[in-house]
Every structure is written in C-alpha cells, then in structure tokens.
C-alpha cells in the first residue's frame, strides 16, 4: 500500500500540535524552573547576608546546596510530570537534551574548578558565575525558541547580559563584589527561572 504523503498544511499542523503539547507539559517544567529559581535566589541571599555579616569566605560552600538539592529534586519532579503528561514528543526530547547538556557541563565545570582550587588557584570559582549566567541563559533562550515562549527568551536574555558583564569583569580582573554582584545574580535568576515559571504555570491553568 502506498504511503499517504503529508501536505504542507498538514506538516505545519503537526509541528504546531507538537509545540502545543510540549508547552502544555510545562506546568510540570514550570514547577521545576520555579524550584531552581527560588533555590538559587534563596541560597544567593543567604551567602550574601552571611558574607556581609561575617566576612568569612567559608559561607561560599553554601553554593553547593543548589546543585545537591536541585539535582535530587529535578528527577523526582520530572518523573511526576512524565507520568501526568504521557508520551514525549520530539520537541520534548529536544528541550530535555538541551538541559541534559547543561547538567553535564555543570558537573565538568565543577570538577575542573576543584582541580584548579586544589592547585591553589581559588579564584577559579568565579568562573561558575559566568557558567551559570552564560550557559544556562543560552539553554533557556534555545528552549524558548523551540516552544515559542517569549518569557523564556526575555528571561534568558536578561541572565545572559549579566553573564557577559561577569565575564568582562573576570577578564579585566575586576572583583565580583558581594555588595553589587550577588544582587544582580539574584535578579538574573528571578528573570530566568521564577518569572517564566509562573508565566508557564498561569498559561497552563488558563488552558484547562
């Protein structure tokens, strides 16, 4: 039996349906973004307050709470989202692969920072700020393009601007001061994760 060829209109309708299905899933992924956003902002606020009050750099170890807590919570929340929404579409797989690359890159970057730190070059940890505000925003912008969600693109653009500023400061040996950079870091993550997370969840509820 000869296979029926899809018309251009049918192809566009299929692509639109896939994108819409992916966007509908983001009531789960919206919650994941909110978790990462609030977690990052809360930890950054705690580090900021403790560094200002005590001037003890040991409080920087709190940053690892983001990776530990987020790394444990994300698979659990993703599993619940998959059970609720069913079979993944091609768009779902693309966005999943984007964030998988980000996660692997974060682990590799952390490993390299540990190696350089053990060699006595402790300033290398500043690179993680650049990573968080360059790689993550670019992944979010790519995700926004895939699912046609403007809040992802806008939030990612804000984070990317702060990340470029961080890279310029690092390259020019300008200290990333606690008093000014950490508030900018929190604003960036609020724009990247918290605002888009609420936007996606609100849209998902309106579609019910």
Q: What sign does the dihedral 67-73-79-85 (CA atoms) show?
A: negative
Query: Taking Cα atoms as reference points, which of 44, 77, 70 lies closest to residue 59?
Result: 44
As a whole number, mean pLDDT of residues 101-111 equals 91
Q: Quick check: 182 pLDDT over 80?
A: yes
Residues 6 or more apart from 102 whose CB is under 8 A from it? 135, 136, 139
Query: Which of 10-24, 41-55, 141-155, 191-205 shows the lowest per-residue confidence on average (mean pLDDT)?
Result: 10-24
Please give the average per-residue pLDDT across 6-17, as a whole number.
Answer: 54
> Is residue 86's pLDDT more than 60?
no
Confidence (pLDDT) at 168: 95
User: What is the CB neighbour count within 10 angstroms for residue 5?
Assistant: 7
pLDDT in tens, 125-148: 988 998 899 999 999 999 898 888
Q: Convert 3-36 into a string of H (helix), E (strand) and C (coil).
A: CCCCCHHHHHHHHHHHHHHHHHHHHHHHHHHHHH
Indicate if the pLDDT at residue 151 is higher than 70: yes
* Cα pseudo-dihedral 169, 133, 149, 11, rounded to 10: 100
- Percent over 90 (pLDDT), the chain: 53
The Cα–Cα gap between 134 and 76 comes to: 26
Q: Which of 26-35, 102-111, 148-157, 169-178 has the lowest mean pLDDT?
A: 26-35
Pairs from 14-20 (Cβ < 8 Å, separation ≥ 24): 18/89, 18/90, 18/91, 19/91, 19/146, 19/147, 19/148
Please say if the pLDDT value at position 172 is more than 60: yes
Q: Provide the mean pLDDT of the chain.
A: 83
Report whether 175 contacts 190 (CB < 8 A).
no
- Contact by Cβ (8 Å): 48, 118: no
Determine the pLDDT at residue 2: 45
- What local confidence, expressed as pLDDT, does residue 88 receive? 59
pLDDT at 80: 72
| Closest by CA position to 62, among listed 178, 161, 167 | 178
For the chain, percent of residues with pLDDT exceeding 70: 79
20-69 per-position pLDDT tens digit = 555 555 444 588 899 999 999 999 999 999 999 999 999 999 999 999 99
Model pLDDT, residue 208: 59
Looking at residue 85, what is its pLDDT? Answer: 54
């Amino acid at each position: 039996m000869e296979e029926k060829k899809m018309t251009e209109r049918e192809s566009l309708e299929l692509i639109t349906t896939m994108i819409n299905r992916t966007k509908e899933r983001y009531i789960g992924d919206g919650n994941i973004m909110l978790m990462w956003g609030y977690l990052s902002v809360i930890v950054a606020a705690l580090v900021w307050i403790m560094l200002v009050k005590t001037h003890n750099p040991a409080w920087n170890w709190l940053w690892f709470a983001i990776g530990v807590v987020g790394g444990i919570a994300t698979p659990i929340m993703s599993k619940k989202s998959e059970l609720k929404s069913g079979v993944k579409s091609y768009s779902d797989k693309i966005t999943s692969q984007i964030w998988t690359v980000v996660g692997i890159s974060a682990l590799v970057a952390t490993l390299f920072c540990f190696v350089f730190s053990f060699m006595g070059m402790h300033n290398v940890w500043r690179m993680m700020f650049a990573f968080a505000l360059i790689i993550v925003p670019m992944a979010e912008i790519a995700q926004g393009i895939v699912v046609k969600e403007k809040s992802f693109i806008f939030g990612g653009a804000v984070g990317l601007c702060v990340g470029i500023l961080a890279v310029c400061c690092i390259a020019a040996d300008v200290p990333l001061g606690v008093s000014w950079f950490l508030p900018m870091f929190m604003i960036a993550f609020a724009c990247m994760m918290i605002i888009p997370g609420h936007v996606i969840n609100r849209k998902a509820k309106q579609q019910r």
